[in-house]
Amino acid sequence: MNKESKSPIEEVIEFAKSKIGEGSKDVKETLEDEKKRIEEIIDFAKSKLNEASDDVKSELNDIIKYAESKLGELEEKATDKAKEATDKVKKETEESSISDTITSAAKSVGTTISNFAKKFGKETSKISEIISIRSELSSLNNAKKEKIAKLGEALLNDYKSNPLENIKLSDEMKKIIGEISEIESKIESKNAELEKIQKKENLTSDQIKEIEEIENEKNK
């Protein structure tokens, strides 16, 4: 069958197959390329409407509607991809900013520790160790406060349930008390370690106060 004898619907189908074939051969095809091919199919189908009978027009309109729906899907997909790309860039920028801030703060604290060590003739590593122990103590004390608050809440809930009865320690309460004891043991050990280093380094109360200020700056 030559081109002159083909009906408008056959021409459109052949054109569509040709365009789809182009896309399948192009491994580097983008969403924009695919959208362009579908738009070309729609335009070609519309150009054949005037040549077609009413029945064929109905078929052509079905093809056009289907192609337009696929085009809409691609546009939504492109919008989603653009949003994903924007979100990714935004996230990377935020992470980079946070990383830069942390790095800058770490360098600043490191310089402060180094200057302190030089000022008082102390080893930088020892001052860093003292600050590290103090930070651990701060974390342990915060953990202890949280456990005590949790224990208090458990006791209150138990009392509300049994206001007229003697409160007995539940398994949960016993567990929390055990955890508090463990934390207190760690705090005691860290305090002893801290005191030992401070004595060995002959740190005065003023020097210890300066170390506290460095630690506070580090924890900001």
| pLDDT per residue as tens digits for the range 65-118 | 888 887 777 777 767 666 676 666 566 555 554 445 445 545 555 566 666 666
C-alpha 46: how far from chain center:
48
Instruction: Check residue 66 and give its pLDDT.
Output: 81
CB 109 within 8 A of CB 218: yes
pLDDT at 140 over 80: yes
The C-alpha atoms of residue 214 and residue 220 are separated, in whole angstroms, by 10
pLDDT at 210 over 50: yes
DSSP string, 15-48: HHHHHHHHHHH-TT--HHHHHHHHHHHHHHHHHT
Instruction: Check residue 41 and give its pLDDT.
Output: 85
pLDDT mean over 142-159: 86
Ranking 46-60, 73-87, 127-141, 191-205 by mean pLDDT, the lowest is: 73-87
Confidence of residue 4 (pLDDT cuts 50, 70, 90): low
pLDDT mean over 12-23: 78
Instruction: Check residue 173 and give its pLDDT.
Output: 84
Average pLDDT of the chain, as a whole number: 75
